[in-house]
Amino acid sequence: MKGVTKNEQSWMLYDWANSAYSIIITTAVFPIFYKASATNAGVSATDSTAYLGYTISIFTFILAMIAPILGTIADYQGYKKRFFSFFLGLGVLFTGILAFIPSDQWLIMLVCYTIAAIGSTGANVFYDAFLVDVTSDERMNRISARGFSMGYIGSTIPFIISIAIILLAQAEIIPISSGVASRIAFLITALWWGIFALPLVLNVKQKYYIEHHPKPVVESFKRLGKTFKNIKNYRSVFLFLLAYFFYIDGVGTIISMSTAYGTDLGISPTNLLIVLFVTQVVAAPFAIIYGRLAERFTGKFMLYVGISVYIIVCIYAFFLDNVLDFWVMAMLVATSQGGIQALSRSYFAKLVPKNNANEFFGFYNIFGKFASIMGPLLMGLTTQLTGKSNAGVFSLIILFIIGFIILTFVPDPNSKRSA
């Protein structure tokens, strides 16, 4: 935290807060809990994995539809914090509700998971947009990367507590079932997320904004339409978004589907939790390394590096068939997972006009979330058609290749501001 301002610290702490949701709900405990519930209800392993993929596609479609509109409205003075707080509350509430759903109601679990995910990803739209309010262009790569690094470090604490409770329950050292232990993990996540989000809510202010308008909703639609009409003036922004659409699709799909994939390969829940924990630990310093290297070699070059690593991951996953292979794949992902996300965020923040940051981060979200519809759908369909999860992960390679190619046409924001 040395050398960073109070606003930067408060902003970065939200990564610390929200990453607990990312690891426990999106990646680790909830998918295992859901898979066990679906299996007990007579749903096959491949079908339950596919249903999870379809669910992710549904909630990302919902958010993708409303994000640009909400982002445009949030550009008005004072609205950004309100929207952030609403989605934060929605996510925290339904994450807590997951702890009280009967274990045989796997469909209701997916519904509540959808609402919690809308809260999480919705809050992230405005959280990302706050980056322009808390730091300068010159510090964006470093602050964004530090945020992701803090997220990885912070998420390990509730993750360790949750794993300890689950393992103690499995070993019958404490008098609760594994299911109850998982529910406790959901409550821990909700509390951790809500408490450590408070510094951003209390300290960070909207520095860049548009003055109030008597009819903000109507005017926001007009501004949104104007942006579409003048899209040629933002060529660099939308070229980047197109590249981002493809490569972040693969990144998000691998994150959200990794546990279900490992389960299909026969890897035990205990081994999966340990692998995911180590992945978080390894990812933290690599996120900082990406930020430092971006200052030396440019953010664009490091995005190329991250995409290339994921192409290797997809190829390696096709031949994966044991726990050791899963470890190798997880460590490869850990080297680039945080870096590629952090630098994408800061790269885009440098391209967009600051007074309209929310509107443009709404587009950033819609491209990222529409991509997250395609990735899980592609993996789910490929898995069902081939009967092999390996083939599903391998199919994602096309997304990284297309994203890499389009990124070559995007100018460097450090050499010429493009919006």
Task: Classify 6-207+216-407 by CATH class.
Answer: mainly alpha
The model's pTM is 0.72
Output the CA torsion 4→6→9→14 (10° steps).
Answer: -160
- Cβ-based burial of 387 (10 A; exposed 0-12, middle 13-18, buried ≥19): exposed
Q: What is the mean pLDDT of residues 35-53?
A: 79
- DSSP structure string for 108-155: HHHHHHHHHHHHHHHHHHHHHHTHHHHS-GGGHHHHHHHHHHHHHHHH
Helix (H, G, I), strand (E, B) or coil at 210: strand
Tokens in use for 168?
Answer: 């103690």
Domain ranges across the chain: 6-207+216-407
For 174-233, the pLDDT digits (tens) are 899 888 999 999 999 999 999 999 999 999 888 876 776 666 666 656 666 666 665 567
* Helices marked H in 130-268: 131-134, 140-170, 178-196, 198-203, 216-229, 235-264
Nearest CA among 41, 297, 23 for reference residue 156: 23
Distance CA 183, CA 165 (A): 10
| Residue 419 banded pLDDT, cuts 50, 70, 90 | very low
Tokens in use for 53?
Answer: 């993929």
- Cβ-based burial of 175 (10 A; exposed 0-12, middle 13-18, buried ≥19): exposed
| Residue 418 banded pLDDT, cuts 50, 70, 90 | very low
Q: What is the pLDDT of residue 417?
A: 42
Tokens in use for 172?
Answer: 């019958």
CA dihedral sign, ordered 250, 255, 257, 258: positive
> What CA–CA distances, in Å, run from 150 to 1, 90, 141, 265, 306?
10, 23, 14, 31, 19
Q: What is the pLDDT of residue 62?
A: 78
pLDDT of 411 above 50:
yes
Q: What is the pLDDT of residue 416?
A: 43
